[in-house]
Structures are given as structure tokens and as C-alpha cells.
Amino acid sequence: MMLLTVNAGSSSLRLAAFSVTGGEPEPVASARYELQGESGAELLRNFLEQYKPGHITAVVHRIVHGGPYFSGPGLIDAAAEQQLVQLAPLAPLHTGRSLSLVRAARALLNADTPHIASFDTAFYTDLPQLARHYALPAELTTRHGLRRYGFHGLAHEALWRRWSEVAAQGTNTGRILTLQLGSGCSITATRDGRPMDTSMGFTPLEGLMMATRSGDIDPGLLLYLQQHHGWSTDELDDLLNRQSGLLGVSGLSADMRVLLASESASAKLAVGLYCYRVRKYIGAYLAVLGGADSIVFGGGVGENAPEVRTRILVDMDWAGVHIDTVANRVATGREHRISPPESPVSVWVLKADEQALMARQAAALLAAQATR
């Protein structure tokens, strides 16, 4: 079978085709696009015309928020699509774009081609009770499904699986912190393959400072802007999702490369705050796990910014974390261990192959349906 994966992020679109003949999905073609001028539908059409992957058996879409409805991959039928529409306000930078790509793919391919959702939240379905609950009235949380869902689950699961292959020599045991640092940023604490905590919550806004998202913020600050300065919910949404983070603090750019090259005080503050927030979460999750065996960096910033990795982990000898300066510099855009052999906590730069994981999930779902 030939599977097409559609992975829409907050600032990019990744498309790939995989051949599945009984074993692991084999990549046939892949491309990454920055979402600037062209629409997702145009990019999808161009990909199919350029790479000509042949007959598409099914299309697998990364969907950021599955809410209380979806705990694993599933077919996107009319009922599922309606539920996703209801969840769209909880992931405003993602779900609307993903649904438009579902419709575009339907228009480009045979009408009977199945479309499958692969959910970022599914990895965190069984998050421990203490990690998923908010300190809100129980009746309210039950009625509205208010809990910490977690996001970037595909990336964190892919990083954990890659770590198991490369660093843990095929075993699935160990305490690992995975850092997905890109336009969106998150950290997950995993023990033996099970997520124990993660930084994103009910929406992808909670947690680390990101490219244009604020991350953790005092809710009272938002009430203050509403009550005393007349801010509307739409204005607050735009503030938190599109005008904050690196862009908001620096007033210059949401691109870490631009900020690292800048000498402006506001750019330096933005980078410093970004690294400080990640460092705080690492300390918290070391407490959650009782220490760590490995720390893994992934994502566009995590893979390509040695200075950011250094600033996050500098002077963490007390936690058994050491960085090899040369190895860290070499690990730019490629997988590498960046801690010395004697470091009690190994530190890695690894690639999160979300597309391969999506294809694997879809192949398993289609195989299960075929045996019914």
C-alpha cells in the first residue's frame, strides 16, 4: 500500500509518501514547505505532481487536538470531522489548517480514499491523574472535559522511539526528557515509554515560551486586561497565540536564527527568557522522574541551535548533566550524542520522524480493519 502523510504545523507543512509491504513503512518521497504564500492545497497538489507516488491507499493527517473524543488513530468520517470542528478553537493555529488539508486531499484523490487522523494528544491519553488534572471544581472539569491533554505527542513518541534505538540499544526502559523545540515548544518526561508529565495542557498554549505563543502566564493578567483595559477574547487570543513569545519579547522576529545573530537588547532578552523557561521545566521534570537517564533535543531549534542547547544545560553538573562543547557544535542538523561518555545523563540531538510514526499507525489501523 502507498500512504500519504500530511503533517501541518503552526508554520510549516511536511508531506511524505510511504510504501508499506508488510514491514516498516519505507519512505518514497518527502518535502517540507514554509507556510507563507501558497495555500496548503496548492502545496499538496504540487507534491503529488512532482513526486508521482502512484495510487494512494490512504491519507494520514496529523491532527493536533483530539480532545476527549479520540485516544488513538481513526478514520475521518463525517461524524469525526464534526467533532474536530468543535475542537478547533482549542488549537487555533493548527486544526483549521489541518481540516482544510483534509478537504483538499479529498478533492485531489479518489472519493473512496480513506483519510485517517493521527492525534498529537493520543500519546498522553493515560497521563497520570496528578499530571492531567487542573485545580478547578470537579463538576466543571467533568462537564466540559477540562484536563491537560498534552500536545506534540507524535514528536515526543518518535523521539522516545529513536532514543530507544540509538541510545538505549533497543530497550524501552529508562527515564528520558524529550524537548521538542521549534515554532511550538514542549517538553515531556517519560518513564519506560509512558509519559509522566508534559508542558502543554488543555491547549498548546501552556508551558514553554514559543515562537509567537506566550507559554505559561498568570491568568490574572488576562483578567486584568479584560476588566481594566477592555480587551476582547479575540484580542487576547491574538496576543497569546500570534503576538507573544520570541516575536513579542524581541519585537524583531519569531525566528531563533535571527535573534541569535542580533545584538539588540530585546533579542538577547527573548533568547535568554526562552532558554530559562526550558531550564526551569527540566528541573521540575527531573523531580518528577527522580532524575533522568537521557535528555533529547529535537525540532528545528533543538536540532540546529548549539548555543541554545548550551544555554539551557549550562552548569547542570549537580544533576549529572555535562555537555561536550565540540560534540555540541558538530550536532547541527544531524543526530549526535553531545555529552561526554562519563556523563551520568546522556544528552542527544535526535530527529523526530513523525511522518514514519503516522504511517505506522495508519498501516496498523488499516490492517486491523481488514481482519474484521
- Given this model, what pLDDT does residue 37 score? 63
Please list the active-site residues: 120
CA 17/CA 340 separation, integer angstroms: 37
- Given this model, what pLDDT does residue 289 score? 98
- Given this model, what pLDDT does residue 229 score? 98
CATH architecture assignment, domain 169-349:
2-Layer Sandwich (3.30)
- Given this model, what pLDDT does residue 332 score? 94
Digits of tens for pLDDT over the chain (372 positions)? 999 999 988 778 999 999 998 788 999 999 999 877 668 888 999 999 999 988 999 999 999 999 888 999 999 999 999 999 988 888 887 888 889 899 999 999 988 999 999 999 999 999 999 999 999 999 999 999 999 999 999 999 999 999 999 987 767 789 999 999 999 999 999 999 999 999 999 999 999 999 999 999 999 999 999 999 999 999 999 999 999 999 999 999 999 999 999 999 999 999 999 999 999 999 999 999 999 999 999 999 999 999 999 999 999 999 999 999 999 999 998 999 999 999 999 999 999 999 999 999 999 999 988 887
What are the Cα distances from residue 358, in Å, to 111, 212, 272? 21, 26, 34
CA 207/CA 205 separation, integer angstroms: 7
Read off the C-alpha cell for 322: 555535562
The sign one gets for the Cα dihedral 164, 166, 167, 169 is positive
Secondary element (H or E) of residue 7: strand 2-8
- Given this model, what pLDDT does residue 196 score? 98
> Which of 146, 135, 191, 187 minimizes the C-alpha distance to 164?
191
CA 363/CA 372 separation, integer angstroms: 15
Secondary element (H or E) of residue 196: strand 194-198
- Given this model, what pLDDT does residue 334 score? 94
Do 2-119 and 169-349 have matching folds?
A: yes
Asked if 274 contacts 287 with a C-beta cutoff of 8 angstroms, the reply is no
- Given this model, what pLDDT does residue 238 score? 97
User: Given the DSSP bridges, would you call strands 336-337 and 294-298 parallel, antiparallel or unpaired?
Assistant: unpaired
CA 181/CA 346 separation, integer angstroms: 18
- Given this model, what pLDDT does residue 79 score? 92
- Given this model, what pLDDT does residue 167 score? 84
Assigned CATH for 2-119:
3.30.420.40
Q: How many Cα atoms occupy the beta-carbon half-sphere of 28 within 13 Å?
A: 21
CA 312/CA 307 separation, integer angstroms: 9
Non-local CB neighbours of 361 within 8 Å, separated by 6+ positions: 60, 72, 73, 116, 118
Which sequence spans correspond to the domains of the chain?
2-119, 169-349
CA 316/CA 52 separation, integer angstroms: 49
> Which of 289, 341, 277 minimizes the C-alpha distance to 319?
289
